[in-house]
């Protein structure tokens, strides 16, 4: 965990969130299972790109507690288990 790692710019975070939200809605707002959600959060907790204070991923700037729920989102560093039944 690195509290001091720089976040993307506000504009870039808005772009990233808007893109993820649009895909999530377009696919019918599917969420991961509770088990996969916990696994994703556990992966973030030990990731050097996780800012625990802000609860954000410093690579994409997203709030991980929301991003991790959405089945259509991916870890920008490819650290989450793949969701095989993406639509």
Element spanning 57, H or E: strand 56-57
Q: Is 75 in the site for ligand SF4 (CB under 6 A)?
A: yes
For the CB of residue 84, give the shortest distance to ligand SF4 in the complex, in Å: 18
- Name which position in 8, 61, 64, 70 contacts ligand SF4 (CB under 6 A): 64
Span of 2-10, 14-22, 24-32, 46-54 interacting with ligand SF4 by CB under 6 A: 46-54
Element spanning 10, H or E: helix 10-26
Span of 2-10, 13-21, 23-31, 42-50 interacting with ligand SF4 by CB under 6 A: 42-50
Distance of alpha carbon 42 from alpha carbon 58, whole angstroms: 16
Q: Is 79 in the site for ligand SF4 (CB under 6 A)?
A: yes
Question: Quick check: 32 and 69 in contact, CB under 8 A?
Answer: yes
Question: Quick check: 62 and 17 in contact, CB under 8 A?
Answer: yes
């Amino acid at each position: 965990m690195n509290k001091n790692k720089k976040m993307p710019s506000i504009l870039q975070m808005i772009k990233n969130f808007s893109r993820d939200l649009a895909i999530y809605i377009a696919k019918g707002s599917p969420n991961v299972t509770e088990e996969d959600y916990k696994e994703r959060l556990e992966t973030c907790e030990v990731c050097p790109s996780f800012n625990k204070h802000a609860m954000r991923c410093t690579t994409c700037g997203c709030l991980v507690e929301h991003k991790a729920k959405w089945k259509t989102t991916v870890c920008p560093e490819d650290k989450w288990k793949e969701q095989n039944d993406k639509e």
